[in-house]
Amino acid sequence: MSENASAEDRNDWAEDRTILANERTFAGWMRTGMACLAIAIGLQAVFGSIEPTWIAKLAATVFVLIALSIFWFAWSNACKMISRLNAHTAEPVSQTHFGTIAGCLAAGSAFACVVLWLL
């Protein structure tokens, strides 16, 4: 094997590792968004009985909005990274799958926010 081919292999492996790291980073941001949603629900559960009730609901809504922002930015950044890289051995998650995951979590968060306001 020539030295040039060996260097190309190392570059290909590095690019594959970056693709996999991008997927792990996306999953980490999804967990962070879900943690913000859990904080929102916790705020409503702990402070929901305080009068006026809209204060607790507003505080919870802020965390839901933060979660929605995190989902959006995670999806956007993951798709940008995937479009810049070329997979060699690793099979990257498609942009559609990233969008489906982020979209479902965002829809669930929005629904949770509506439920918090109806309580």
pTM of the model: 0.86
Mean pLDDT over each residue of the chain, to the nearest integer:
90
pLDDT digits (tens, 9 = 90+) for 63-118: 999 999 999 999 999 999 988 877 777 788 889 999 999 999 999 999 999 999 99
Its domain, for residue 97, covers: 3-118
| HEC sequence for 19-84 | HHHHHHHHHHHHHHHHHHHHHHHHHHHHHCCCCCCHHHHHHHHHHHHHHHHHHHHHHHHHHHHHHH
Token couple for 24: 């792990």
Q: How far is CA 38 from CA 20, 58, 79, 93, 113, in A?
A: 27, 15, 26, 26, 11
Query: Is-contact 92 80, C-beta < 8 A?
Result: no
Question: By three-state DSSP, how is residue 12 classified?
Answer: helix
- Give the number of domains in the chain: 1
What band does 4 get if pLDDT is binned at 50, 70 and 90? low
The count of other CB atoms within 10 Å of the CB of residue 7 is 10
